Amino acid sequence: MRVSEYVCHDAVGLAELMAAGEVSPAEVERAAREAIRRVAPATGAVVETWPADDRPEPGSTPLAGVPFLIKDFGISMAGRRMEMGSRLAAGHVARSDSFLMRRLRRAGLVTLGRTASPELAYSITTEPALYGPVRNPWDPGRGAGGSSGGAGAAVASGAVPLAHATDAAGSLRIPAAHNGLFGLKPTRGRVSLGPALDEGFNGLAVQGGVSRTVRDSAALLDLVRGPEPGDPYFAEQPSLPYAQEVTRPPGSLRIGVLPQAWGGRRTAAPVTDALDRTVRLLESLGHRTEEVTVGLGVGWEEFVLANARLSTANLAASVDDLAASLGRPVDSSTLEPSTLAAHRYGQEVSGPQFVAALAVRNRVARTLARVFGTHDLLLTPTLPELPPLLGAYGEGAEALDGLGWIERLNDRSPFTMAFNVAGTPAMSVPLAADAGTGLPIGMQFAAGYGREDLLFRLAGQLERAQPWAGRTPDVWAGAR
């Protein structure tokens, strides 16, 4: 199989070819490794590859034999390095598979390496000091988003059709939007974070993937969803596989449209234009849309403060644990300025402040639940602006404290965080591109708790009505 053929297929398509005997798993793997070799230097997306240690039987699952990459954060693979984008964890090797890694193996995915993450996944751009920046395949002078920016750039450039990603504040949806991909953040409790964790960032973090087609993400979630012993949350299992939902008509949906974000940041004109086009597309498909005002149950400053306290306290505990286990100091030799500032801030969060932040989480979840009682879905831009230039997020970061860093991230990505706090599913769909630059623009759809089925139905309909798979970036493995 030539790379030019490999990149023409999504993950499900490759698995079907192998199941039919039209191509062998070894041929697919060779093509994937050559694709990675071609695009990795230009993107910085893949920080390490290794020999595959899984040889699934073709046809044993819908994704058997498909090349795959895991993020350098949030998952552990026995005997492989997991450095979390940080000098603090450089050289760290995982001792065992996490629950999700076990399920990825059972899914038949062939994990070939790991993708870049910002330091400790604590940014929405992927520019770690440990590896260097991840560049956007559509414009290498711009960022690929974060914290799953390595995954986003790897899939968008054709290295693999599907890659692991995490999302605690938009970290899956932001790279999907920046890189022209489909990305769905599952419901809290849909995919286990164990056994090392019961919950990530007090329920804000979830696991998933980014892909070039809707059916690939549906197939992946079907194969990894479900609780493990000891999990603190349980999302009721769907009545049908998500792969089947992709082909089912969604009916006429009530969709509330939120063009301007919480917090006051104005949506840029190219994004507003893309949102208007999306609304017209939805209405042409029989959906009912209306512009809405959606409260969070708390003011924006209180919302950001609560999230800063939750996230920095969690970060401080993780950093201290890593430092103790690896025998390394917590200072500028091991941490970047923004992470170090967040660590210091988190150490000062008191017990009562932490509990009050959890109460804010509850108020936001209850408030958004009422919104989904009157609307099937909410539509927002995934991001208020086009992908920023590399270095833009880090300007003046050394002068910020931990709260200031979280304020910056929420200002640049004000649409995504609320659905992590509420625990509800949300997806970024690559429905538009900027006419002037060709850069992709993602549209975010959010649903009520446990309603990934509804999101997959709509995503499948949108993909059929306005296909995006034919659009390829400047950095593309199949370009020669």
Considering only 42-46, 203-207, 392-396, which range has the smallest mean pLDDT? 392-396
Q: Residue 151 and residue 133: Cα distance in Å, rounded?
A: 13
Q: What is the pTM of this model?
A: 0.98
pLDDT band at 96 (very low <50, low <70, confident <90, very high): very high
Architecture of domain 3-479: Alpha-Beta Complex (3.90)
User: Which residues make Cβ contacts (< 8 Å) with residue 285, sequence separation at least 6?
Assistant: 461, 462, 465
pLDDT at 103: 98
Q: Could you give the 3-state DSSP secondary structure of residue 254?
A: strand
User: Residue 445 burial by CB count (10 A; 0-12/13-18/19+): exposed, middle or buried?
Assistant: buried
Task: Let me know: does 471 contact 7? Beta carbons within 8 Å.
Answer: no
Per-residue pLDDT at 204 exceeds 80: yes
Using the predicted structure, report yes or no on whether residue 480 has a pLDDT greater than 80: no
Structure confidence at residue 249 (pLDDT): 97
Q: How far apart are CA 83 and CA 47, in angstroms?
A: 10
* CB < 8 Å & 24+ apart, contacts of 90-97: 90/130, 92/322, 92/326
The pLDDT assigned to 234 comes to 87
Report, as residue numbers or ranges, the catalytic residues: 71, 147, 171
Q: Count of CB atoms within 10 A of residue 354's CB?
A: 16
Q: Mean pLDDT throughout 209-221?
A: 98
E strands in 336-425: 377-381
Answer yes or no: are the C-beta atoms of 182 and 210 closer than 8 Å. yes
Q: Which of 101, 74, 238, 231 has its CA nearest to residue 167?
A: 74
pLDDT, one tens digit per residue, over 6-22 is 999 999 999 999 999 99
What confidence tens digit (pLDDT) does each residue in 69-81 have?
A: 999 999 999 999 9
Q: Which two tokens stand for residue 90?
A: 């450089």
**Which residue from 320, 309, 472 is spatially nearest to 405, judged by alpha carbons?**
309
pLDDT digits (tens, 9 = 90+) for 263-296: 989 999 999 999 999 999 999 999 999 999 999 9
* For residue 352, pLDDT beyond 80: yes
- pLDDT tens for residues 225-236? 999 999 999 899
* 66 CB neighbour count, 10 Å cutoff: 30
Angle (CA) 277 282 288, round 5°: 125
What is the rounded CA–CA span in Å between residue 92 and residue 87? 10
**pLDDT attached to residue 76:** 97
pLDDT one-digit tens code per residue, 142-157: 999 999 999 999 999 9
Residue 56: what are its φ and ψ, rounded to 5°? Answer: -70, 155
Q: Which of 96-100, 365-369, 395-399 has the lowest mean pLDDT?
A: 395-399
The mean predicted confidence, pLDDT, of the chain is 97
